[in-house]
Amino acid sequence: PVPVEAGDGAVYTPLLTHDVQVDVLERLDFVLRNISELRKEVEELRNSLQHLAAEIVGEVRSHLEETQKVTRRRRFLFPRERSDSVGSGSIYFTASSGTANTDDGESEGGYTTANAESDYDRESERESEEAEDEVSCETVRTARRDSLDLVNEDETHLILDSSLEEGLGQLLQQADRLHNGDEQEKREGFQLLLNNKLAYADQKDFLWRLARAHSDMCEITDDTDEKRSYASDGKEELEIALQKWDQSAECHQWYAILCGQLSEHESIQKRIQTGYVFKEHIDKAIELKPEDPKSYYLLGRWCYQVSHLGWLEKKTAAALFEAPPTATVQDALQNFLRVEELSPGFSKAGRVYIAKCYRDLGNNSAAVLWMNLASELPVHTKE
């Protein structure tokens, strides 16, 4: 109401009549009801979009997995031959790179460690090619990113964590298959891991596999500078990893291997120092994972080569260090036999070393027996 005239006796009259007021209230009530209904419809639509986004991501993953399975069945109709990738990386005074003599006139020029892989790991088939995997991973990540705008914050974290975990699992399986393949497959595996380093650089199982891939590249390349570079880069990756995951047997194991490979290009003093580091990390790997045959194989190689050090090498080690490394043929034999106990036929080279140990100990019948057992493994390696 507004006053018609000023003063104490002003008379007020309503601006709107009663009927008009009722009409306005009814209209306001109608608008409020519509707003409430609209809110409900928006909430229902939002929930539907969330479910739709999750279904799309799930369907994309299922399709990619099925495509990879079909590709593997189509490309590998016959099983690949088993192969043993027991390549050597020298620790001390190595006369030749990547080989180990097995005859009676073998050199006493040094002792080496080996990048040993079990024969039973060679049964697995390789995954799709690198480009296919990159497309697969990128497709899943794209679908995941597109769906993040449709979910709330909590659901975003759940989907992100689940997708990363699943993507990492598939990537690690692919890397393992390529690592167990030929030289070309090892190169593909190395590139695959490099392409995904930005996404998974904070994952322990990714990092030690990346370091392992550096070791593979060090083994297969012929260029000396490239060998040194690959070994150095892989060693640096594990130095970072060990600061956070000191209780990882694989990190210690591959750190020791890469140290051995890098020492091939170092001075005699540096190689001797590396030998102590190698032994320390292999012992730690065995402590953390006592059922891993590869660690015992590496320790057996170390013991065998130490037991066959030449006079000059022993004198050099004694002059540089108060306690030179010591090991006997019997020590090496016990480690190699432990490998066979944990995984019979783990390595062709391992059985050859058992035969060599028995020969050195004067048990020629046992040496012949183990050479025959070694010949039963259809494996061909550099050694």
pLDDT digits (tens, 9 = 90+) for 241-289: 999 999 999 999 999 999 999 988 787 778 878 888 999 999 999 999 9
Mapped onto helix, strand or coil, the DSSP state of residue 114 is strand
Cβ neighbourhood burial of 218 (10 Å; 0-12, 13-18, 19+): buried
- Region class of 237: left (phi > 0), else alpha (psi between -120 and 50), else beta: alpha
Buried b (16+ CB within 10 A) or exposed e, 227-265: bbbbbbbbbebbeebbeebeebbbbbbbbbbbbbbbbbb
Cα–Cα distance measured from residue 253 to residue 283, given in angstroms and rounded to the nearest whole number = 9
148 in Cβ contact with 137 (< 8 Å): no
Amino acid 246: pLDDT = 93
Residue with tokens 């050859």: 352
Q: Which residue has the tokens 């009663």?
A: 18
Handedness of CA 311, 313, 317, 320 (dihedral sign): positive
pLDDT recorded at residue 261: 92
41 membership: H or E segment, kind and range: helix 18-75
- Written out in words, the top-level CATH class of the domain with range 296-382 is mainly alpha
Q: Tell me, what's the pLDDT at 17?
A: 79
Please state, in angstroms and rounded to a whole number, the distance separating the CA atoms of residues 359 and 369: 11
Positions of CATH 1.25.40 in the chain: 173-290, 296-382
Q: What is the pLDDT of residue 359?
A: 97
What CATH code is assigned to 173-290?
Answer: 1.25.40
pLDDT beneath 50: ranges in the chain: 1-2, 4-6, 74-129, 135-136, 140, 143-145, 147-153, 155-160
pLDDT confidence of residue 326: 87
Cα torsion through 151, 154, 160, 165, rounded to 10: -140
Strands 111-115 and 12-13: unpaired
Per-residue pLDDT, 220: 94
pLDDT on residue 49:
80
Residue 267 has a pLDDT of 76
pLDDT at 213: 96
